[in-house]
Amino acid sequence: MELPPLGDHVDPDALRELSDDGLDALGAQLQATERATIAAMAPYEQHLREIRTRATELATERRRRERAHSVAQRAGVREAAKSGDMPSLAVALTSAEELYEPETVLTDVHAFLSTGGEVGFGFATRPGTMTFTDGRQQRQARTWGEARELHALGWDPGAPGIPGVRVHLAGSRVERVVPAADVVLSIGGD
């Protein structure tokens, strides 16, 4: 499609010499060209609106599927936690069975709240640590073996005066301290 004709450009010095009627005629010509251009663009703008609407519908469907997947995953975690298929952190630390290799870093341990939300150990800005305390001092474990070793020595998850495990919700900066019994672990590559 061809653009409407714009007309010849009038030099600013030549504009000074035009009469008021001449200026009005140039203004009317520009307004007519603008209206014609807007009219010519209308089908393209409508086409763009339709493309954007369809893209929004696709994005909405993707979010719906992600939410459904998340709800199903959380329900599965809650069910596995209730049935004992996913042991709590408190149970796993005292278990005679070695659930992970001792050198497994805590960022590789898939953990969830017993309510189903995925979490990581430690601070959101410094993930992969678990703090243990003997009541006076604290130490950081960065691997599963270090965590088990500290727990075997009588150290409990938490900091002096703050019992529990610091976790952050996966993919966010939301952090909190929860009891070790409220954190369940995924075993076997889930």
Q: How far apart are CA 82 and CA 75, in angstroms?
A: 11
Half-sphere exposure of 59 (CA within 13 A, CB side): 6
Q: What is the pTM of this model?
A: 0.62
> Can you give the residue ranges of every domain in the chain?
12-81, 86-185
Q: What is the pLDDT along the chain (190 residues), one digit of tens a residue?
A: 678 888 888 888 888 888 999 899 999 999 999 999 999 899 999 999 999 999 999 999 999 999 999 888 888 878 877 777 888 899 999 888 888 899 999 999 999 998 888 999 999 888 999 999 998 999 999 999 999 999 999 999 998 888 999 999 988 889 999 999 999 998 865 4
